[in-house]
Amino acid sequence: MSVEKDIERRIYRKQKGELFFPEDFSDLGTSEAVRISLHRLEKEKLIRRVAHGIYVRPKISSLVGELTPTAEEIALGIAKRDHIRLVPTGTQALHVLGLTNQMPMKLVFLTDGSPREINVGKRTIKLKKTTPKNLSAKGKISSLVIQALREIGQEQLTQTEENKIVQILKTEMRHILQYDIKLAPVWIQKIMRKALV
């Protein structure tokens, strides 16, 4: 019982909506004691399990009730816990950049961590192992642009999309953009250079 009370006290110190993992309480008891305690606290509705081994103390909105973390927030939580890097790919990269309104049901991230799939409600997070080069872009915007352009493809890219991408890239810090350009395929480098003009 004392393990559960210690865990409960620590959870109350966390912000509502902040993700946590069983590993966060490993100093309070055995993994089995922590697992049982979290299960009990979930039954008491103090916390909610959002995916396997991932919990949250939910935020409550007076308008819509309980707010659960997004799949993106869960992916970032996993990256923080496991000390891994993630880069959104495909439709997710397009969506983050505002190039599509389509919300992908399956979020695919390139990672230097172990590959796996995590189910979050009706959505899936897929972590796909990649080479260090694909994760070495320093800029958040430029790394998203590289993945978004790969998703669109050289032949399918419209002039409107290219113009929008160049405008988005202009918000990236110049020295970071100059560094990241070298990491992109040649056809993407040509587009990215237009943001430096």
Per-residue DSSP letter, 134: G
Which has more pLDDT, 121 or 111? 111
> In this model, does residue 1 exceed pLDDT 80?
no
Average pLDDT over residues 115-144: 91
Topology, domain 2-65: Arc Repressor Mutant, subunit A (1.10.10)
Q: What percent of the chain has pLDDT over 70?
A: 99
Dihedral sign for Cα atoms in the order 68, 72, 75, 81:
negative
* Contact between residue 29 and residue 70 where contact means Cβ atoms under 8 Å apart: no
Phi, psi of 124 (to 5 degrees): -125, 140
pLDDT score of 166: 96
Cα three-residue angle 171-163-94, rounded to 5 degrees: 70
Structure tokens at 64: 């819509």
> In this model, does residue 154 exceed pLDDT 90?
yes
Domain with CATH 1.10.10 in the chain: 2-65
Confidence band for 196, pLDDT divided at 50, 70 and 90: very high
State the Cα–Cα distance between residues 144 and 91, nearest whole angstrom. 11
Q: How many CB atoms lie within 10 A of CB 25?
A: 21
pLDDT in tens, 12-21: 998 898 999 9
Global confidence as pTM: 0.80
